[in-house]
Structure 1
Amino acid sequence: MTAAGGSNRKWAVDLEKTLGEGDVVLELGRWERHCIYRVPASIKNKNLRAYQPQLVSLGPFHHGEPHLLPMEEHKRRALGRLLRRSGRSFDEFVAAVEDVAEELEHAYMDLGDEWAAGRGPGSRERFLEMMILDGCFLLEVMRRAAAGFDHHNDYAPNDPIFSSDDPIFCSHGILYHIPSIRRDMLMLENQLPLLLLHKLIGVQRESPPGDDFINRMVVRFLAPFSRPPTPVGRLGLHPLDVFRWSMLFGEYQRFRVPEFDSDDTIRSAVELYQAGIRFKTSNSSSLHNIRFRRGVLSMPKLPVDDSTEYTLFNMVAFERLHVGTGSATGSAIMAYVFFVDCIIQSPKDVALLTSKGIIRNSLGSEEAVAMLFHSLARDVVLDPDGALSALLRELNGYSSLPWEMWFTNLKRTYFGSPWAFMSLLAAAFLLLMTVLQTVYTMRQFYRDG
């Protein structure tokens, strides 16, 4: 590159050097290592609260924030209990984490200089300390939650986080703090690599656990009241990643391209229902299990409560920032959000889906549910070649058939109640008698003539 006027300026020379540094292989390796991201302001500004941990920092991005500092004392106590119970030395845990320190660092995109090795004095040591404290705290929280209200607990009965089953204190931590910790574990900026937990558990057990063991342990904690199958094949990237997996098992139905003409109008749930399409709940909780057969659209039940907002917002952000997100699932959460937003265009659509059992509305307001999905789907683009895009076209094509509209209106008008059906029969009988009488009269007229 030559600067204007033919003279070589320093900035132009420096820029020309950087242009030659782009190596495809090196860039591929660089992007592959990242899986935990800072959410850009363009995404975060839509709902700041959905991306902000409220109780505990996990990892470097929110470490040291004033409102999260009180939990640091509990992290140290959890580490002490874990060390005592495991019978292992602290040096063994440090050595295990130090072996993968570089991989853990590279999991975080835009890691600050205060954490990245070589960028400041003591940065690697601070990073290792934080990883061990946060990882052991998370293991202790999950162990305590899995134990439930048992008596095998080595914490004080009035411990605010790990309190034991006691007639006075009633496992205060399990009831009041663990739900908040679950919430914070699903913040994209607040993730720990599962490789860290794999190494820490390996020290305790003298042998590394299987990848599936780690994945299932995390999913059981994040979704204690459901038991979805957890995909196997690799260790999850972090808790948000495996929780997303747990919602996307199974395969999409293969939808055919309509043989009849279909416009590009996106019809709401009420419009589809008026066109003859019936709604029912599917027999699986997977968001892949959306089926359309013989005029029936089946969808998994969707609980909509205070947790739905931050869970879906963070999974959508993860899919937007992490290229690939798993070849088998692609941008499945974004596709689902887009699809639901298409058929929910007003509170009436929410009311219809609620009446069919598809939405379990704990927000209390149909309008709040509609606004939630409108907010989630803002700037989300649906893959035109994806399964749910094909489903929208098939629904529109089916609901455009004139005979379907006519039959549906007839059925709902005259077969909706016994009295309407009796009225239809009476009218048909009178019409038939009138026709017969007319025919008889005309025959008599021509015979007499």
Structure 2
Amino acid sequence: MATMLQRTDDDPSAAERVRWNRRSIYRVPEGMKEQTKSEAYRPLFVSLGPFHHGDPRLVPMEEHKRRAVLHLVRRAGRPLRDFVAAMEAVADELLDAYGDLGEQWLGGSGTDCFLEVMLADGCFLLEMMRTRERVLRGETLEDYAPNDPVFSIHGFYFLRPEIQSDLLLMENQLPLLVLQRILVVQHGISSPSAEDINKMVLHFLELEWPLHADMDTLGLHPLDLVHKSSREPPPTLSDLADEWEADTAMPCAAELSDAGIRFKESKTKSIDFRNGVLRMPIVRVYDGTDKTFLNLMAFERLHVFAGHDVTDYVLFMDSIISSERDVALLRSKGLVKSGLGSDREVAELFNTISKGAVMSPFCRLLDVQRKMNDHCRKPMNRWRATFEHTYLSNPCVFISLLAAIVVLVGTVLQVVYAAVSYYDNR
């Protein structure tokens, strides 16, 4: 204790700021895993980085990583020690990128093993990306055998989707700095720019870079690029009333429809409500959607500068999807495209992955919720919606109503005519 208190006059904030600025890859806390789905954070085929390295289930892929290093180094025509030196030159930055790194990776032989993992994993990813590009262009992979299980047409169709899935996990990230350093050694002055590397990784994940994002800055890692590609343009913070903070509950989609709110597709990634119409982008749900959302949400929760767009979106969807009835309604409007077995599974997906998450107080979707709640509170909107659902949704019912009105008007006119005639005769 005395040693710890000897230098209390030093300000630790500067050193801590540098350390935390570099950190971008985290272990997901056990509490977060238990709240949702713990298996959603574990790679199934390949480990990237140190957190899952050595997992017995993933060891078979290590042989293919070593082959990737040999093939890439041979094609580059440079000695292996040049690639190792490139990793050593940025060792501190790579080590600092990982939070809660185990002692086995630090100091002396531990750091050497860590850099060996960085190089092998980086070469493996680059070779997988090269395989994809060559297969899509119809070119042969002359330095790999046609029956190669990984770096071939077979690997492109049957292994690549699993690698893409593992590449989206928070604990299974590799700094893009690793790819940059390898490519510098491999290509020299003609090495790809930061923009080229960002696009290369996103193309491998079959995503496009958004127009509003910064293309010139190298992404932190693949999950960071996926997160940036899913974000909206930077919003203007909402001016929320104090009393609104305690009133964020919102009716589900079926109740919103009963209140006269209509649903239409948004041409952008934004969700907006105007003139009784909720516009939202199409929700595409398939096997693995929950895993992608959970890891993006974990990144937002653990990384200070990530923002909160994905978490806010998931919580908004959880609000309007309470049951399979809500999913069926949105699907009938063309706003949900599902590859799952039933509407109930879609509803359970959003109800499950939102557990433990909190919407940002500066989220623009709070304004959308407020406007829809205000709309639902007005009795006239509910009466009009009830009338439309009851009498205007079915042609037969509408014709019957019209006929009843005609009969009623005719009866009234007859009574009036009879009364006028009676008084005229008197």
**Category of TM-score, reference length = shorter chain:** over 0.9
Name the counterpart of 1:40. 29
Match of 1:63, SS state, is: coil
Could you tell me how far apart the structure 2 residues matched to 1:357 and 1:97 are? 49
1:215·1:230 contact (CA, 8 Å) conserved in 2?
Answer: no
2:175 is aligned with what amino acid?
P
Could you tell me how far apart the structure 2 residues matched to 1:68 and 1:198 are? 25
Name the counterpart of 1:4. none
Name the counterpart of 1:236. 219
Name the counterpart of 2:279. 298
Name the counterpart of 1:152. 140
1:78·1:137 contact (CA, 8 Å) conserved in 2?
Answer: yes
1:300·1:358 contact (CA, 8 Å) conserved in 2?
Answer: yes
The change in CA–CA distance for 1:386 and 1:266 in structure 2 (over 3 A counts) is same
Could you tell me how far apart the structure 2 residues matched to 1:264 and 1:197 are? 44
Query: Of 163, 171, 175, which residue of structure 2 is paired with 1:181?
Result: 163
Name the counterpart of 1:27. 16
Deviations 1:398-421, CA, capped at 9 Å, x for gaps: 122222112222222222233222
Could you tell me how far apart the structure 2 residues matched to 1:244 and 1:265 are? 27
Name the counterpart of 1:132. 119
1:304·1:369 contact (CA, 8 Å) conserved in 2?
Answer: yes
Query: Of 283, 287, 291, which residue of structure 2 is paired with 1:310?
Result: 291
2:327·2:347 contact (CA, 8 Å) conserved in 1?
Answer: yes
2:316 is aligned with what amino acid?
F
Report deviation, 1:200.
Answer: 1.1
Q: Does 1:205 align with 2:194?
A: no
Deviations 1:205-229, CA, capped at 9 Å, x for gaps: 21243221111111111126x6754
1:307 is aligned with what amino acid?
G
The change in CA–CA distance for 1:338 and 1:59 in structure 2 (over 3 A counts) is same
2:176 is aligned with what amino acid?
L
2:322·2:347 contact (CA, 8 Å) conserved in 1?
Answer: yes
Could you tell me how far apart the structure 1 residues matched to 2:154 and 2:413 are? 82
Could you tell me how far apart the structure 1 residues matched to 2:393 and 2:78 are? 71
1:216·1:230 contact (CA, 8 Å) conserved in 2?
Answer: no
Moved more, 186-195 or 95-104: 95-104
Name the counterpart of 1:322. 303
Moved more, 415-424 or 152-161: 415-424
Could you tell me how far apart the structure 2 residues matched to 1:446 and 1:255 are? 67
Could you tell me how far apart the structure 1 residues matched to 2:308 and 2:352 are? 17
2:238·2:363 contact (CA, 8 Å) conserved in 1?
Answer: no
Could you tell me how far apart the structure 1 residues matched to 2:41 and 2:171 are? 7
Deviations 1:149-189, CA, capped at 9 Å, x for gaps: 524202111111012xxxxxxx2211111111111111111
Gap regions ≥5 residues in structure 1: 1-11, 164-170
Deviations 1:280-310, CA, capped at 9 Å, x for gaps: 22223x3xx2122222212111221111011
Moved more, 403-412 or 303-312: 403-412
The structure with higher relative contact order (CA 8 Å, sep 6+) is 2
2:22 is aligned with what amino acid?
R
Name the counterpart of 1:369. 346
2:158 is aligned with what amino acid?
Y
The change in CA–CA distance for 1:355 and 1:95 in structure 2 (over 3 A counts) is same
The change in CA–CA distance for 1:83 and 1:230 in structure 2 (over 3 A counts) is farther
Report deviation, 1:317.
Answer: 0.6
Name the counterpart of 1:245. 228
The change in CA–CA distance for 1:25 and 1:80 in structure 2 (over 3 A counts) is same
Match of 2:337, SS state, is: strand
Match of 1:148, SS state, is: helix
Moved more, 425-434 or 48-57: 425-434
2:237·2:363 contact (CA, 8 Å) conserved in 1?
Answer: no
Name the counterpart of 2:358. 381
Corresponding pairs, count: 418
Q: Does 1:419 align with 2:401?
A: no
Gap regions ≥5 residues in structure 2: none
Report deviation, 1:22.
Answer: 5.4
1:304·1:363 contact (CA, 8 Å) conserved in 2?
Answer: yes
Could you tell me how far apart the structure 2 residues matched to 1:417 and 1:368 are? 30
CA RMSD in angstroms comes to: 2.3
Query: Of 51, 57, 68, which residue of structure 1 is paired with 2:41?
Result: 51
Deviations 1:361-405, CA, capped at 9 Å, x for gaps: 111122221121112111111123310111111111112222211
Name the counterpart of 1:407. 384
Query: Of 38, 57, 69, which residue of structure 2 is paired with 1:67?
Result: 57
Name the counterpart of 2:261. 277
1:269·1:349 contact (CA, 8 Å) conserved in 2?
Answer: yes
Could you tell me how far apart the structure 2 residues matched to 1:444 and 1:433 are? 16
Report deviation, 1:254.
Answer: 8.7
Match of 1:110, SS state, is: coil
1:302·1:359 contact (CA, 8 Å) conserved in 2?
Answer: yes
Name the counterpart of 2:128. 141
Normalised to the residue count of structure 2, the TM-score between the two structures is 0.92
Match of 2:57, SS state, is: helix
Could you tell me how far apart the structure 1 residues matched to 2:59 and 2:230 are? 32
